[in-house]
Structure 1
Amino acid sequence: EEPEDFISKVYFDPCSYQCLENCGAVLLTVVRKGGDVSKTVYVDYKTEDGSANAGADYEFTEGTIVLKSGETQKEFSIGIIDDDIFEEDEHFFVRLSNLRVVETDEPPELNNLPYPKAILASPCVATVTIL
């Protein structure tokens, strides 16, 4: 078997989201496919401005997603700010980074095997468009 058969890929699915300005929040989904899903995986996420600005159009958000043993997807939300001012469609990004795999009850550490147990796959950046 190729090492790729053992690697879990972590990414956004879908990679593109749309919401109305008055929706309150948008829900994003991170998935894990392939490899050993019995391992716990941590991945960080953080919003980044596009034409939409944190604090004015959406709430700056950063955190860590935990995919526990057997979990293949996790959702998290980002607050959308409704300012009652008509605006053109705007967008911002959410980026995944710093993927860690937990072997046992030890603290998470970076992959140190000849091949990684999990990798960030494309798309690791999601685009959110506020309509």
Structure 2
Amino acid sequence: MTQESSYEAIRYDLEDGVLTITLNRPERLNAFNGQMAAEMMEAFDRADGDDNIRAIILTGEGRGFCAGADLSSGGDTFARSNDDLEAYRDGGGVLSLRIYALRKPIIAAINGPAVGVGITMTLPMDVR
């Protein structure tokens, strides 16, 4: 098994041609944040470019798949200046479009609650 340790919000494990991406914030029920979004986008880009990867499984660490957006910052969670508005307009939608564009089959192994972006990101997947 090959593990990639450069990620914090996800785990990237490759074994026998199957990449398992695990949402790895179990203390927050894998709540989605900007770091997780960026790491997932990078992981999907890497997977598409790796001919050794034949399929992808996405799951969550712990007792939940994804509790939705991380609201721990309260009102600041979605606060952005007008200059940043376009860049942060729809992180979950951009992620869903990236998943839709994957050239590898992807399976959502939903292992508990999936709320908001947690369920939305699974919609373009091949198997849920």
TM-score (norm 1): 0.25
Larger radius of gyration: 1
Which structure shows the bigger proportion of residues in helix conformation? 2
**Relative contact order (C-alpha < 8 Å, sep 6+): which is higher?**
1
